A and B are shown apart, each in its own frame.
Chain A
Amino acid sequence: MKPTTLDARGLSCPQPVLLAFQAMREMGSGHLEILVDNEASQENVRRAVVSQGWTPTITKLNENDYVLRCEKS
């Protein structure tokens, strides 16, 4: 099943976190990919998804960008 992708690049904190919360609430469970463009956002979003019981796997795409592949069954 194709994951839902959320592009939070270009947004400043706390907006990536708030978008992630909105997506997690709407989805309830499943696969969610979140793109961010700085380490602070990556860290903040990771903390947010973990606090909601999702498990993130983080990949650094290039110098700035990260993708958090999050799962909840």
Chain B
Amino acid sequence: MKFFKKILSKNKKSKSSISEKGMLLYPSTGEVIRAETLLREAGLDIAVKGPPPDLRQGCDMIVEFDLMHELHVRQILQTAGLNPLRIVPVHDHLLEPVSLFNVKDFGDYLMVRAANMKITIEKQSQRIVNISGGGCPDVPYLAQMLVGKTMSQAPEPRVLGQTLCGYALQLAFQEVKRLCPG
């Protein structure tokens, strides 16, 4: 009986060490965002997360995907000329870049903050009146492209952004859309 128990626990352990997820490593956040967009458009279940400490290079991100679909992922990325630096199995728990939103109601206006980025819209017209926060070089550009436009007219920040701030802004943008579906 003890023998069986030992085998079972061993099997259980070895099963948990088999990685089911992989991560795509890229040299820049812009490529991560492009890869995310492509893979989502292909209907793949993926997530953008923070890398484990040993693979961290700065304020970078990785794309987590199901290893079962590795071949499909590789094909999509190769076709788009977006080959990752490395594909690594995920062994540790990865950090979510943003998991909480801060929503503030200013009466006629609504502000949503995701990480370090804030987006404020006029509720009635759904017009973006302010983009702030950041510290990344593309924030002034993102603000220039979005402020004054309605949520339906405005391009998605993920299309324009090249940094973690752009990514955070995309999440805030999506949260505004969820809260004010127009």
- Chain B, interface size category, equals 10 to 19
CB distance from B155 to the nearest CB of A (A): 16
Q: CB distance A51 to B147 under 8 Å?
A: yes
Count of CB-CB pairs between chains A and B under 8 Å? 42
Nearest chain A CB to B169 CB, angstrom units:
14
Q: Which of B122, B133, B140 contacts A13 (CB 8 A)?
A: B133
**Which residues of chain B have C-beta atoms less than 8 A from A47's C-beta?**
130, 143-144, 147-148
* B106 contacts A by Cβ under 8 Å: yes
- The answer for the CA separation of A13 and B119 in the assembled complex, in Å, is 10
Partner of A18, one of B120, B133, B143, B147: B120
Q: Interface majority SS on B: helix, strand, loop or mixed? A: strand
Interface positions of A from 1 to 26, Cβ below 8 Å from B: 13-15, 17-18, 21
- A residues with CB within 8 A of B: 13-15, 17-18, 21, 40, 43-44, 47-48, 51
Nearest CB on A from B157, distance (A)? 16
- Kindly state the separation between the CA atoms of A14 and B143 in the bound complex, as whole angstroms: 13
Query: Is A43 a contact of B140 with CB atoms below 8 Å?
Result: yes
